[in-house]
Structure 1
Amino acid sequence: MQNAKCKMQDAARGAAPGSLVRRSQAVRVALPAAALVAGIVLVLAPVALRNYAVAGQLAIVSSHGDLNFYIGNHAEANGTYKNIPGITPSVAGQITDMRRAAGQALGRDVTDVEASEWFYSRARSWIREQPGAAAALFAKKIAFVFNATDIPLNESYAYYATDESRVLRLMFPGAWLLLPLGLAGIWLGRPREQGRPAAAWWSLALFVPVYGVSVAAFFVTGRYRLPLLVAACVFAPGAILAAWDRWRARAGRPLAAAAALVAVFAVLVHLDVGLDNGLGDWRAEMAVQHIEAGQDAEAAAALEGAVAVHRTPALVLFRTGQAYMRRGEAGKALPIFERALGIEPSRPEVRLAAGEALLALGRPGEAIPHLQAAAAAGVGEGSAGISLARALAESGRPGDALRMLSAAPAAERLAAPAQLAAGRLALDLGDPRIAEPFLGRAVALAGDNASAREAFALSLAMQGRRGEAIPHMEAACRLDPSSASARLNLAVLYAETGRPADARTMATEALRLRPDYQQARRLLDALGRQ
């Protein structure tokens, strides 16, 4: 019995070292994993708790993530940020518009999490239905991630570094340098010996493809790609030091091989894949802002800078000319539009803008060809046809103008001011039948617009529909207490419908507002003789 007990103790003592070693190894393996999990929880817990406290939804990340996934994965996606119809391009807009869009599609109110899941499911459906297109788009986004171009989202780093900040100008190393050196440095700077250093190196190097894929899964911008440049800073010295060591050792072939590897990555990183760093767009925006501030000299300088680098300079010129038009200076806008047409003669929106500038300058005959081309192209959602009708009328061709108004394409999509202008033009040309639908839409779109109400009432009255006209003319008087013309027109309607006392009251009020209003005076005289 004693011998058996001793043997058991000896066996326990013999087994203890191996057991402890295994336990120690398990701890060494488990500790990093536990630290990783704890780190993830530490980062995500405040977000999840905040979402639960604010929205009552235990979402561990921003609900915009699935919208971003959809932005980068649908039929119209191009690999970078692209506005989604119905979604305001701002954080506040996304919060409300995501729920509204998803709710309309699902036919019920939805939470942020449900809205996010709806966008995610749409993206997944497209990937499932169009695997070839999705794979091609993903490959394109990978190329964007590892491209030298800094893709702007809200701000253009290229603009500030080039035009605004001397400090940023001195910080010239960027993706163009860090990516080729960093990618080559992963291989050239690797530890030659096996073991823990090599394992640590390749574990860190794994961040580059993993993070690149994680960005490409959504859409690519410079700021989302930025952590990759931090990693490139870590690996780039590997390429530099490897080249230096081979130079010192006079190792020609290894040095040439290292240089060739860097050169290959440099070529790949600098491939033109159709990206834009936003420099031209931001210079164009600054030109517009200078115009709005009345700084024409600065605007001209910014415009030339934008035209020099923008991929579509005609578009830059068009936007700048529009800024002058909004300022009411068609004379300054027209040469810019003409310059844009010199670059792209058939661009319809520029032809529309040039025609409207000529019309504003009192040159309707010259405006007609531009407006005809714009109307034929269907730009402006019908405004081209309205402007063409005006040009025809001012050129002494009222019949052609009325025909243009009656056949104006997409006229129902015009905004209220354009509807009102078209209706007034038809009234001036003596055709209330053509004027009525324009003015009716103007009233429907802007029922509190006194001018629209008055013009609509006139179109009805001119067709003998005085009973229908009176409520609209009365509304015009209520909406604009200072309008003498609305009161005179209402007085006429009252007189023609057998209400002379009301007519005298309105005519007297019109004369009070405009003491020199001869038509009101004549109406009062006529009413006095009755």
Structure 2
Amino acid sequence: MGRTNQKNSNAVSPEKCIAANALVFVVGLCLRLWNIADIRFAPFFSMRLGDSLRYREWALEISGGDWLGSEVFYQAPLYPYLLAVLYSLFGSERIVILLLQAILGAVSCALICDATIRLHSRKAGITAGLALACYAPSIFFDGLIQKTATDQILLCAVINLVVRWQQKTRLQTCLLLGLAAGLLILSRENALVFPIVIVVGMFVTKRPLYHEFIRSALVFVVGLAAVLLPVAVRNYSVGGEFHLTTSQFGPNFFIGNNLHANGTYQPLLEGGGNAQAERRDATMLAEKALGKSLTPGEVSHYWSERTLKEIQSDPVRWLNLMCRKLAYFCNRVEVTDTEDIYSYSEYSAPLRLLNPIANFGTLGPLAVLGLLLSRRNWRELSVLVGMLLAYTASVLLFYVFGRYRFPVVPILCVFAGMGIADGIRIVSLRFRGSASATEHSSSVTRAELVPILFIAAGAFLFCNWPFLNAEHMKSISQYNMAVEFDRSGRNRLAIDFYLRALELVPGDANAHANLASVLARTGRLEGAAHHYREAIHADVPSPGAHFALANVYAQMGMPVEAAENYRKAILDLPDLVPAHLNLGVALLQQGRADAAVDALERAASLAPDYPAAHLNLAHALADIQRFEDAKVHYQTVLELDPGNSLAETCLRRVTDAIQKHDSKK
């Protein structure tokens, strides 16, 4: 089982190593270019959603001259700054960025191949590199305007440099490792755990040669500081506080661990699902709770303290939540935030072909197998194992997204490559006979192999257990795309994607309500009414659906149904002025002026500066011959809206009516 002697005796020549890396690079690049060629024709290709939109806006601000900025970073800054450089050089066309990311992704695969060859063997290296090259989410993320592409290349560089340093201690390698780790932290904040693991790994690896450890660690820290300190100084200069990277720890900690957390992202306030809204809402809520203005650090501290109190109030609930997050983290399904691999697979042949196999449900168990088969080489693998465990813990500390867990994938590919290579070797030795197997000290006995296979099978079952639903993830993305189509006025596509989302999750109240809104705007009132009713009867009804349905009924000339739903809307939202106003109008249309007066008086009292409320109230009062009161409200309309011809005409009529009434007396 020991691999050290075998590795040394089976050293790979530089030529063969370069050839293996080149093979993996070509395969990785071809698959990524194929994906880009396919998704170009997707209707959402030019769309910017969530963080992608914010990165573009931020990069355009930077490339426009605002290189320093004016606030403490809330999001990791590396990717937007890289985009800004690329925008300055090549323009902001998405296709150019994706082509460059495809190259970086292919280089990442070659780096993993090289690292695994150095750790294990040429076969394991090629297998590990191809595993990353063909890993469907890697191809998917390289085709998005997302920082996952920089996460991948930087982490693969860190892994490669760690392995090189373990094999031959060089201060130059330590410096490069520090620089790469610092850049990774500026791309993925929770990568802050990696330097700790690396320094501990240096200590373990070089014990008892402490002088080598000290030199290596110092040079590594110098490289790290060379990247991170300028950012910390910049944050201090613009915000007056020391933040090594960003100030979002507290809000994210709360989102992932509060009393209502479910293991994935939930905005602090409804509709606040992007970084700008999250920062605004976190600051507003914290300042409201404490009754004073707060700095970014104080905002983060408020949410951290609040989260710890909620955890302490019910630790059993929190432990259950952590178990759920671990199940989500290890599951084959990619947890979606804005865009999902399943929707893109409809347009991308490589994703469609590879995702059913090359997913986390396959990679995770193979990595477990590789670790178990290589367990006797724990010293060589200790740093990578430590990085894997530390990063996993850092994600579970917050909440799970597919792109948040992705940085463990390159590490798992190393272990999976080793596991596949060792597994093939063991099967080959067994096939050739037990005597041959006994001659190889690196082989495993049958007694050892059975529990290893049992554990790997358990890992496969756990990773593929239906804790998550891919259809639900796809519906989130379809809904987000529909909202963007709706916002940009592409009604046909908005309707199509809302319907797709509802096919996947029929009870989505927001999708029904938004679809109904598009249908109503395009004159399809029957369909709009149907979907508003569906939104009302959903398990979690859409707020405001009764009011919207009532408006549709009013447009359809159904005042009785409209009035009924306006009343229901008022029960949900008692101070909704348009509901009171429209209820009064609907009652007037039914000839029920007495009942209309009550609704319209409520509207006028809630919005005394709203001319329409006074105008309709005046009409209702005139209908029941309360001319003096009607005159007062017509005059109020003219005070609020001078020159209102309808109010002037009606005021003359009620004035004449009052005079006639007085003359009869």
TM-score by length of 2: 0.56
Separation (CA, whole Å) in 1 of partners of 2:466 and 2:389: 21
Q: How far 1:204 moved relative to its partner?
A: 1.2
> What is the CA–CA distance in structure 2 between the aligned matches of 1:58 and 1:434, rounded to whole Å?
59
Report the alpha carbon displacement of residue 290 of structure 1 after superposing the two structures with TM: 6.6
Structure 2 CA distance for partners of 1:247 and 1:211, relative to 1, 3 Å: same
Deviation at 1:82, TM superposition (A): 0.4
Structure 1 counterpart of 2:408, one-letter code = L
- List aligned pairs for 1:214-293, cutoff 5 A: 214-250=394-430, 253=446, 259-276=453-470, 278-286=473-481, 293=490
Task: Output the CA distance in 2 between the equivalents of 1:460 and 1:362.
Answer: 23
Report if aligned partners of 1:419, 1:442 keep a CA contact under 8 Å in 2: no
Q: Does 1:183 align with 2:363?
A: no
**Residues 295-347 of structure 1: CA distance to partner in whole angstroms, max 9, x if unpaired?**
37x955x5665455437478755653443134331233456678x69xx7988
Q: Please, which of 199, 206, 212 is the counterpart of residue 379 of structure 2?
A: 199
Within the candidate set 164, 185, 188, 2:347 is matched to: 164
Q: Which SS does the other structure have where 1:53 is aligned?
A: helix
Match of 2:583 among 422, 437, 443: 422
CA deviation after TM superposition for structure 1 residue 236, in Å: 0.8
Matches of 2:339 and 2:226, distance apart in 1: 31
Amino acid paired to 1:185: G
1:138 paired with 2:300, answer no
Give the letter aligned to residue 273 of structure 1. Answer: F
Match of 2:574 among 412, 432, 442: 412
Check if 1:310 corresponds to 2:471. Answer: no
Instruction: Say if 2:392 is the partner of 1:212.
Output: yes
- Equivalent of residue 89 in structure 1, options 261, 273, 278: 273
* Paired AA for residue 434 in structure 1: D
With over 3 angstroms needed to count, the CA separation of the structure-2 counterparts of 1:99 and 1:86, relative to structure 1, is farther
Q: CA offsets per residue over residues 420-477 of structure 1, 9 Å max, x none?
A: 2123334552125413443225635xx3x54234224556774743675355222343
The CA distance in 2 between the partners of 1:305 and 1:87, in whole Å, is 21
The alpha-carbon deviation at position 259 of structure 1 amounts to 4.6
Partner SS, residue 295 of structure 1:
helix
Query: What residue number does 2:262 align with?
Result: 78
Distance 1:439 1:219, change over 3 A: same
CA distance, structure 1, for counterparts of residue 321 and residue 270 of structure 2: 23
How far residue 179 of structure 1 moved from its aligned partner, in angstroms, is: 1.7
Larger radius of gyration: 1
Match of 1:323?
518
Cα contact 2:330–2:361 (8 A) shared by 1: no
Cα distance 1:363–1:457, how it changes in 2: closer, same or farther (>3 A)? closer
Question: Is contact 1:246–1:255 with CA below 8 Å preserved after alignment?
Answer: no
Q: Is the 8 A contact 1:151 1:275 kept in 2?
A: no
When structure 1 is superposed on structure 2, of 218-227 and 349-358 the one drifting more is 349-358
- Does the Cα contact within 8 Å between 2:370 and 2:415 map onto a contact in 1? yes
**2:621 aligned with 1:465, yes or no?**
no
Distance 2:279 2:633 in 1: 45
CA 1:100–1:325: 2 relative to 1, 3 Å: same
Cα distance in 1 between the residues matched to 2:539 and 2:212: 70
Q: Which letter does structure 1 place at the counterpart of 2:474?
A: L
In structure 2, how many angstroms separate the alpha carbons of the residues matched to 1:223 and 1:345? 31
Distance 2:338 2:538 in 1: 32
User: What is residue 503 of structure 1 aligned with on the other side?
Assistant: none
Q: Cα distance, 1:384 vs. partner?
A: 5.4
* CA–CA separation in structure 1 for the residues paired with 2:348 and 2:605: 51
Aligned-partner SS, 2:400:
coil
| Candidates 552, 562, 568, aligned match of 1:385 | 568
Where does structure 1 lack aligned partners over 5 or more consecutive residues? 1-21, 376-382, 387-407, 499-522
Partner of 1:155: 339
Question: Once the two structures are superposed, what CA deviation does each residue of 1:479-516 show, in whole Å capped at 9, x if it has no partner?
Answer: xx4x4211213334666789xxxxxxxxxxxxxxxxxx
| Secondary structure of the structure 2 residue equivalent to 1:61 | coil
Structure 1 residues 46 and 180 mapped into 2: Cα distance closer, same or farther (>3 Å)?
A: farther
Question: Is 1:101 aligned to residue 295 of structure 2?
Answer: no
Aligned to 1:64: 248
1:345-369 superposed Cα distances (whole Å, 9 cap, x missing partner): 988669958787666545678x59x
Q: Is the 8 A contact 1:324 1:330 kept in 2?
A: yes
Read off the aligned partner of 2:575 and give its amino acid letter: R
In structure 1, the residue corresponding to 2:379 is in which secondary structure? helix
What SS does the aligned partner of 1:413 have?
coil
Counterpart of 2:254 in 1: which secondary structure? helix
Deviates more, 1:129-138 or 1:310-319: 310-319
User: AA paired with 1:169?
Assistant: R
SS at match of 2:209: helix
**2:603–2:613 contact (8 Å) kept in structure 1:** yes
**For 1:66 and 1:274, how far apart are their aligned partners in 2?**
27
Q: Which shifted more, 485-494 or 64-73?
A: 485-494
Deviation at 1:157, TM superposition (A): 2.6
Q: Pick the aligned partner of 1:174 from 336, 359, 362.
A: 359
Aligned length: 429
Shift of 1:129: 1.4
> Does residue 119 of structure 1 match 2:299?
no
Question: How far apart are 1:220 and its partner, in Å?
Answer: 0.8
Write the distance in 1 (CA, Å) between the matches of 2:275 and 2:328. 24
Amino acid at match of 2:383: S
CA contact (8 A) 1:454 1:476 kept: no
Q: Where does residue 389 of structure 1 map in the other structure?
A: none
Secondary structure in structure 2 of the residue aligned to 1:465: helix
The partner residue of 1:475 within 632, 636, 639 is: 639
Partners of 2:270 and 2:485 in 1: CA distance: 30
CA contact (8 A) 2:232 2:244 kept: yes
- CA distance in 1 between partners of 2:262 and 2:292 (Å): 31
AA of the residue aligned to 2:214: A
Q: CA deviation at 1:413?
A: 3.3
Whether 1:295 aligns to 2:489 is no
State how far apart, in whole Å, the 2-side matches of 1:335 and 1:410 are. Answer: 20
Do 1:307 and 1:316's aligned partners in 2 also have CA atoms closer than 8 Å?
yes
Shift of 1:132: 1.1
Contact 2:627 2:658 in 1 (8 A): no
1:186·1:235 contact (CA, 8 Å) conserved in 2?
Answer: yes
Match of 2:599 among 435, 444, 451: 435
Shift of 1:227: 0.3
Q: How does 1:358-369 map to 2 (within 5 A)?
A: 360-362=555-557
What CA distance in whole angstroms lies between the structure 2 residues aligned with 1:312 and 1:30? 60
Q: What secondary structure, in the 3-state scheme, does the structure 2 residue paired with 1:250 have?
A: helix
Letter in 2 for 1:207: M
Offset at 1:115?
Answer: 1.1
Aligned partner letter, 1:385: K
Cα deviation for residue 100 of structure 1 reads 1.8
Moved more, 329-338 or 421-430: 329-338
Post-superposition offset of 1:146: 1.3
Are 1:284 and 1:316, in contact at CA under 8 Å, matched by a contact in 2? Answer: yes
Distance 1:222 1:411, change over 3 A: closer
Cα RMSD after superposing both structures:
3.9
Quick check: 51-60 or 329-338, which moved more? 329-338
